Chain A
């Protein structure tokens, strides 16, 4: 195999410095901890059922039995149009078809696979934004995050959304170094990724649309950078509108029960009978390190920082949409807010470690001539 150049691999391994070896070792350690908890998804006689997981399995089974994506609902006594976006269900159904494994079991396997994909995408996004060491720090916060854990052990479309949102942002970020706006591979990838996100999960698409919208506004002085965010933004909105018009024959969402009955739980600092607790779900370490990370980003003034700011601001606005009188799915948008803070906290921890490295380790005096 030509790509398996043993000499090149050996040279690469020998050229790794101590920091890189430690970084890979830490990633491996965190991955083992992260992955081993996700294996619990398969420990029972049925996958975890909280969060309508078996409903999605039902649609996937129906796709396998009929060969079509259903137009009518199985839910709530059926007999009304089915409008849930199809990407996640088609992914599970396709895997079940190819493997011959029951879709319920495939849902569990895909949950573990997607949780690993979230682990990888957070690393890649943070690395692209700042540095590989900051990305490793972000993986630490991801591993110990109760909120991310809850949404990476359940067989839900939102889990695919937790992967697709940062993936789309990675393509937008990667395109920054390409100079003026042109139809290159990054634009194509950001468009495809945005389209898949639109068909993955409605709350993810809302978050992505708002992130891209805010980010596009921050780049409005540069036509090139503005377009790099605006094109996937138009894609995500257009694809979803087309889907809803196809399934519900309207662009309005005001008739949906989730809107009429304000489905969702408010998010407060601490949990109560009527609210989800931010600190219980986010973990106590996240906020202080995220604050340090944001301060560090602001001090370094890289233009890339606006993408993370946009993500944090958009997901915060959506998490607190009850304050705007909307009151829908606040607790579900919280997951995207926590995901964005994990990146910021990773940068914060990187900044702290960098400070300790220069102040503490450098105090070990180098010998003369070293």
Chain B
């Protein structure tokens, strides 16, 4: 009887611990963890990588933000202006600054000149999210890329447009 009584207490205690773990404990875990499960990039951006593989050269460089760039790198091995490991990069801060400027500026000619400076063949333009080039989340000023003197639309879906740098 003593053993049954002791074991019942132990079972009750462990059951309560497991229930608290699954409820209160995991609620706290979810509060912190769910933020890191965010894919950030949209479904349309992921779908566009199939077009990139088929229609661009493996040596082509892309204007992108860090998350778009890493998506392009991950799915296609193409080279983005920002994203990945900056440990050994010659001047990663300049890449971040200029990538952000290409998205932010109103001037198509400035965006084009910066794209040429970095030997970028394509501009990856997310339409339904903010972009992050290293200095905070910013909206994309997308209308300048429709200036066909500087950029040519190559691909689009509801989430992203890809322009060739003229």
User: Which residues on A are within 8 Å of B, measured CB to CB?
Assistant: 18-19, 22, 25-26, 29-30, 33, 37, 40-41, 43-58, 61-62, 65, 73-78, 80-84, 104, 140, 143-147, 149-150, 153-154, 248, 255-258, 261, 263, 280-281, 283, 361, 364-367, 370
Contacts and interface: CB of A to CB of B under 8 A. Distances in A.
* Centre residue among A41, A45, A82, A255 by max chain B CB count within 10 A: A45
Contacts of B89: 73, 75-77, 80, 257
Given A46-B41, A49-B41, A82 B88 contact: yes
Nearest to B10: A22
A46 B47 CA distance: 11
A291 B125 CA distance: 51
A48 B40 CA distance: 8
B48 interface: no
B33 interface: yes
A370 B2 CA distance: 9
Contact of A76 (B26, B74, B92): B92
Contact of A280 (B32, B46, B75, B119): B32
Interface of B: 1-3, 5-7, 9-11, 14, 17-18, 21-22, 25-26, 28-33, 35-41, 43, 46, 61, 67, 70-71, 73-75, 77-90, 92-93, 95, 118-119
Nearest to A360: B9
Given A74-B84, A153-B36, A361 B77 contact: no
Contacts of B85: 52, 55, 73, 75-76, 82, 84
A153 B33 contact: yes
Contact of A140 (B3, B6, B21, B82): B21
B14 A49 contact: no
Contact of A75 (B6, B14, B28, B84): B84
Contacts of A104: 74-75
B71 to A, nearest CB: 5
17 contacts: A29-B21, A30-B18, A33-B26, A37-B33, A46-B39, A49-B38, A49-B67, A49-B71, A54-B75, A56-B74, A74-B80, A76-B82, A76-B83, A77-B80, A84-B85, A144-B28, A364-B5
Contacts of B36: 48, 50-51, 150, 153-154
Contacts of A364: 2, 5-6
B77 A74 contact: yes
B77 A258 contact: no
Contacts of A248: 88
Nearest to A84: B85
